A and B are shown apart, each in its own frame.
Chain A
Amino acid sequence: MQGSKQFKQALLEGLLLGLRKRGVAASSDIMSFHERKRAIKVAADAALVNARGADATRWSRTMLADSELGHRRRNWGGKVSVKLIRERVLRRRRGHRQKLGTVGSAAVLARAMVRKQTRVLRGIVPGGEGLDDECTLLGETLDYAVCLKAQVDVMQLLVRALQAKNP
């Protein structure tokens, strides 16, 4: 359903409504370029979440929470615990030992590469940090990639329409 025509129409409608709601198209507001860009990005994300369903997937819930926060960085207050620092130091030492030691077998290296790529993927997909299971992470990535492709298509359509309307 994510890449279907109905989904794209719902996404486009939500995007236009979001642009009007956030005052991007209002004549009274004089917004700077960066403010306008941020408002368009937030409107596009909100339209994507609404078209997909707010509670359908983990990434949509995370994006909804981020848009409600206004894309502010969450400040994790408080001191960093001694345990965390110790773990980081030990991890570094372990990494140095592995680098200095002999090269492992191909299977070990491949497994390490997969682990590293999975960690990167968790950082890319919204809400992926809380996913420990690789199977669920791949499912979320699949859903997110399809929805993101539809969002890109809709935004390209809108840009093309605006350029044709106002050359």
Chain B
Amino acid sequence: MRHSSPTPDLPAAGGEIPALAPTSAAASTGSGGTFTALLGLPTSQAIELLLPVAEPAPTFPSDPHLVDRAARFSSFASPSPSPPPPPPPASAANKRKAEPAFKGRAAKKGKSTAAGGEDRGSGEDEKPAYVHVRARRGQATDSHSLAERARREKINARMELLKELVPGCSKVSGTALVLDEIINHVQSLQRQVEYLSMRLAAVNPRVDFGGIDNFLTTECGRITGLNCKSGMDLEQVSWPDMGVHGARNLMQLQQQIWHGDLAHPQQPASQWEKREDVHPPVFSSTSSSLFGYDLASSGPQQQPASKLKTEL
């Protein structure tokens, strides 16, 4: 006897197919099949199928005791709290930027720049370090560069003035040689002052300054001006040059006087020191003389010492 399975009716079967169509379409799309099933669906359903369905958030138990127990007996729980993760290390490019362009300047500023670079970390992208780029010719506009240039110009100008002041130094080129010439010139002037003070000391010390006054006025009248290129009003007098003979005479004079002074420290007054006709001049503020010495009062009559002190 044949058992025939009950065949479903067509309408029933036909009614089930459209009901199963969305699930089959979803399965086909999920398995990476064709989109032909999606094309037959309406737009709203196709969008819902294409978009990922958000999973519901897991619900944790609200009981705090359970949470504590779970945290205590969890396999992921660590005995000590973990330290915060270290900041990401700066790249080589950032490190290169952090280094100053000139080591000397960074050393002068101190260690604060290095410490600041470590603290900043990734903040260097926001504030890049100052990298000094050398300017091209004629484009140095930094205040330090301008000040240095002005200082150099001032030094060069003064060197030029000193060159013009020192005789025979205009041909010399080079700062060191010019400085050498200047040193020699100043030292020679200082030696000349020493020599002239020695000559003045060797001359009769009691000089009639009243009589010398007229001579000095005539000599000063003969002084001729010399216009220098440097703008300084230098005056020169035609003096006999102190050459080899002058130095030889100076040495002889030194030997004579020094031997005399050392041999006889308490010398009696010489013949010209014993004269009584020469008297020291008296300074008078109301005089027509150039240097303020009264020619009439430089004779035997003397003014009182108190008046002389007040006038001096």
Contacts and interface: CB of A to CB of B under 8 A. Distances in A.
A117 B176 contact: yes
A1 interface: yes
Interface in B223-247: 223, 225, 232-237, 239
**DSSP class of A's interface residues: helix, strand, loop or mixed?**
helix
A141 B261 contact: no
Interface in A1-41: 1-5, 8-9, 12-13, 16-17, 20-21, 24-27, 30-34, 36-37, 40-41
B183 A145 contact: no
Contacts of A153: 235-237, 239
Contacts of A131: none
Contacts of A121: 179, 182-183, 186
A129 to B, nearest CB: 15
B189 A145 contact: yes
Contacts of B232: 2-3, 146
Nearest to B256: A33
A164 interface: yes
A76 B59 CA distance: 90
B173 to A, nearest CB: 12
Helix, strand, loop or mixed for chain B's interface?
helix
Contact of A44 (B197, B206, B283): B197
Interface size class of A (residues with CB under 8 A): 35 or more
Contacts, number: 181
A165 B193 contact: no
Interface in B170-193: 174-176, 179-180, 182-183, 185-187, 189-190, 192-193
A166 interface: yes
A40 B293 CA distance: 19
Contacts of A144: 186
B157 to A, nearest CB: 9
B204 A40 contact: no
Interface stretch (B2-10, B68-76, B159-167): B159-167
Nearest to B208: A165
Interface string B259-303: 011000101010001000011110100000011110000000000
Interface stretch (A50-58, A65-73, A87-95, A132-140): A132-140
Contacts of B239: 153, 156-157, 160
B206 A135 contact: no
Interface in A91-129: 110, 113-114, 117-118, 120-121, 124-125
Contacts of B186: 121, 124-125, 141, 144-145, 148
A104 B215 CA distance: 60
A120 B180 CA distance: 9
Contacts of B151: 135
A161 B155 contact: no
Contact of A146 (B159, B165, B176, B208): B165
Given A20-B280, A20-B312, A21-B312, 15 more contacts: A3-B235, A4-B233, A5-B220, A5-B235, A12-B291, A20-B281, A44-B197, A134-B155, A135-B155, A145-B162, A146-B165, A148-B186, A155-B200, A157-B219, A163-B203
Shortest Cβ-Cβ A-B pairs, 6 listed = A3-B234, A117-B179, A155-B196, A113-B176, A37-B201, A36-B201
15 contacts: A4-B233, A5-B223, A12-B220, A27-B280, A30-B273, A113-B176, A121-B179, A121-B182, A135-B155, A138-B155, A138-B159, A145-B189, A155-B197, A159-B199, A162-B207
